[in-house]
Chain A
Amino acid sequence: MTALSRQPRAVALISGGLDSMLAAKVVQSQGVHVEGVNFFTGFCVEGHTQAVKRTKKQKVKRHSALWCAEQIGIPMQIVDISEDYKDIVINPDYGYGRLLNPCLDCKIFMVNRALELKSNSNEPFDFVITGEVVGQRPKSQRSETMAIIAKDSGADDRLLRPLCAKNLPPSLPEREGWVDREQLYGFSGRSRKPQFALAKELGISEWSQPAGGCCFLTDESYTKKLQDLWDARGRKDYDLEDVVLLKIGRHIRPAPHFKLIIGREEGENQYLRGFRHKFAHMSTVSHVGPLCLIDGDLNQKERILASRILARYSRGRTEPDVTVRITDQSGVSEEVVVEPMEPHLIPQDWSLTN
C-alpha cells in the first residue's frame, strides 16, 4: 500500500535548536530526501528582539533555523502562521503549561501544518520528522502527550521522532523500511548528554541553544505583560504589533486604563518611534531621555504622573525639574515641567517588566 518507487521525502520541523537539527540529519543520512520547515508564530525569541536591541557594535545575528538548514544541507521554508496561531494561544484545547505556553496544542498545530506542505518538487511529503524526545518536556514531550500529537495532528504513524523512536511503537517509515529503525535512537529524559554525543558523532559542533528557550510564551516576564494586555482589554486578543511591543521597552501600568512603554536603549527608542502615529507619546526636552508610548487616555493629573515617571528614566533624574513634551496621536504637543519621580515612589506592582 505504501511501497515507494522513488526516494522517500520527509519534512522536518526545524526550530533552530540542536534536537530538530539532529533529527533531520539522522534521517537524511539514511538516504531520505529531507526538507525543513520553520514556523513563524510571532512569539519567536530571535528575530524581533535581536533586531530591535542590536547596537552598532554587535554583529548581525543569524536566523538559527536557516543556519541549521544550511549546516545539514537541506532546503527550508519559513512559514508565517502568526494569524492562525492566535487561536492556539487564546483557546488551547489542552490548556497552558506553567505560563501561557500552549505547548501541546502548538506542536499538534505545527505537525498538522507540516503534513500539509508539499516538497520542492511539489509532491507531498511521505512523513514528518520532529526532534522530540520522550520525557524531555513536562507538557508536550511525554509518552502520553506524544501519542496525542500524532493522533490530533492527523499525522498518526507518519510522524517520526528519530531521537526517541526506539522508545515508541514503530512508525510507518520504519515499518515500510523507508528508514532503518536500528539506526534511530532511544533517547529519553531531560539529560542532554546523548544529544551532545550524537552531535559530535555527526560532526556538528555548533548550535544555537541546547533546547527550548525559543518562545516568548515560556518567558515569565513576557507572559505577565501578555496577561496584563488581556486583562486591560477585557478580552483575550492580540495582533502582531501587540506581540512585538510586548517584547520591547519597560512596561509600567500606573492604572488599569493606561500603560507606559519606555525605551530602554536607543534601538528600542528608534523602534518605538515607528508607533508614534498610533499612540500618544512623550519625550524629555530638557535632558536626554527615552521615548515613551502612552497606551490609554490620560487626564491632566495622570499626564503629570506619567511625565514624572518618564523623567525618572532620563538623564535629568536627579535634577529638580525636567521638561517633558507630550504629543497626542494627531501631533498636537504640550510641554510640562515636572519633578522626576523617585524610584521608591514607583510601586513595584506597576512594573510589568522584570
Chain B
Amino acid sequence: MACANVLDTKGLLCPLPVIRLQEFARHVEHETEIVVIATDPGVLADIPSWCRVNGHVHVSSEQLDHEFHVKVRAVPPALPDEV
C-alpha cells in the first residue's frame, strides 16, 4: 500500500474539503491512503459519505484539538477528469 498523503484543507468550509479531496484522489495511485486535515467538522459526515458514494474506503476519523483528521483509501476507478 502506498504511504499516506496529507491534504491540508484547514480554513475551508464544506463542501470544499470534499472537492479538494476529490481532485487529489484523481491523481494518486491505487490504494493510496490520504489524510485530510480540516477545521470544519462537516468533514466527519461528508467525507465518509463521499467515500461510500464513490467506492473509496473511509479508514478513520479523529479530532485533534481544533482539527479533524480523516483518513481515506482511494480505490479505482478514479473519478473522471473534470472538463
Contacts and interface: CB of A to CB of B under 8 A. Distances in A.
Interface of A: 38, 40, 44, 47-48, 50-52, 54, 60-63, 66-67, 69-70, 74-80, 113, 116-122, 244, 274
Contacts of A79: 19, 82
Contact of A77 (B22, B41, B55): B22
Given A79-B19, A122-B80, 19 more contacts: A40-B15, A40-B16, A47-B14, A51-B40, A60-B41, A62-B49, A63-B42, A63-B49, A66-B46, A74-B53, A75-B54, A75-B79, A77-B22, A77-B54, A78-B19, A78-B50, A79-B82, A117-B82, A120-B80
A121 to B, nearest CB: 7
19 contacts: A44-B15, A47-B42, A50-B42, A51-B41, A60-B44, A66-B49, A70-B52, A74-B53, A75-B53, A75-B55, A75-B79, A77-B22, A77-B82, A78-B18, A113-B83, A117-B82, A118-B80, A121-B77, A122-B80
Nearest to B40: A51
B79 A274 contact: no
B65 interface: no
Nearest to A50: B42
A48 B13 contact: yes
Interface in B31-45: 40-42, 44-45
B80 to A, nearest CB: 4
Interface string B58-83: 00000000000000000001011111
Provide the main secondary structure of the chain A interface.
mixed
Contacts of B44: 60
Given A40-B19, A117-B83, A119-B80, A76 B54 contact: yes
Interface of B: 11, 13-16, 18-19, 22, 40-42, 44-46, 49-50, 52-55, 77, 79-83
Contacts of B81: 118, 122
A266 to B, nearest CB: 13
Contact of B49 (A67, A113, A118, A274): A67
Given A51-B13, A69-B53, A75-B54, A63 B83 contact: no
Contacts of A116: 83
Contacts of B77: 120-122
B72 to A, nearest CB: 14
Given A120-B77, A120-B80, A62 B53 contact: no
B15 A63 contact: yes
Contacts of A40: 15-16, 19
A121 B55 CA distance: 13
